[in-house]
Amino acid sequence: GENVEQHPSTLSVQEGDSAVIKCTYSDSASNYFPWYKQELGKGPQLIIDIRSNVGEKKDQRIAVTLNKTAKHFSLHITETQPEDSAVYFCAASRVRDDKIIFGKGTRLHILP
Amino acid sequence: GAGVSQSPRYKVTKRGQDVALRCDPISGHVSLYWYRQALGQGPEFLTYFNYEAQQDKSGLPNDRFSAERPEGSISTLTIQRTEQRDSAMYRCASSTRDSDTQYFGPGTRLTVL
């Protein structure tokens, strides 16, 4: 089955700097890669996703890149702000209406 | 509109008791998923439904765990003869048939004493 590895487990960046979180996956059939943000006491919330037919996707300060050959994908947050502090999960899924396999999460701290 | 709701939000039970956790998906969402999230970990898939049909239950840890969605809306995850290792946050998510996006509920924190 699919296995998603995520690193780093903890990341601290100065406010205004960029943050990068990297993930790898094992199942070459996976074709949907969402990223979730989880704030304390809340459920995961989708922030951006990418499909296997696209190499990069941007949404304001957030971007995701995908390298299908190498089976890795990354989340980039630019101009970080205090409200970006949270746990971020990468995930992979094979097809629509299928289970999502999550990474173990990255705790992002934005330092003032 | 209303998001995914789960009840109870917190459940404390004694080892050996049965518990039933409820999930009310977003109205009109066809697919419903159950995950378990241990502290400091990502959600771990348990099972999912399309309408009332259970499509995949490969993530259920053992036969003490079961789930149903008899009318294709509300779902119940039941854990029989609970054990301390069952303590975790149980999360439900739902999605439409046309989208990959899963919307998560607030979860039920289960503590087995």
- Express each pLDDT in A38-80 by its tens digit: 998 888 999 999 988 889 999 999 999 999 999 999 999 999 9
- pLDDT score of B15 more than 60: yes
Would you state the pLDDT for residue A60? 95
pLDDT of residue A96: 62
| Distance in angstroms (rounded) separating the CA atoms of residues B94 and B7 | 15
Contact A74, A20 (CB under 8 A): yes
Average pLDDT over residues B69-78: 96
Mean pLDDT score across all residues of chain B? 94
CB pairs under 8 A between A and B: 58
Q: Which of B40, B95, B107 faces A43 most closely, judged by CB atoms?
A: B107
Q: How far apart are CA B107 and CA B109, in angstroms?
A: 6
* B20-26 mean pLDDT: 97
CB contact under 8 A, A99 and B43: no
Measure the CA–CA gap between A50 and A37, rounded to whole angstroms: 15
d(CA A54, CA B64): 42
From B4, B33, B91, residue closest to A99, measured CB to CB: B33
pLDDT exceeds cutoff 60 at B4: yes
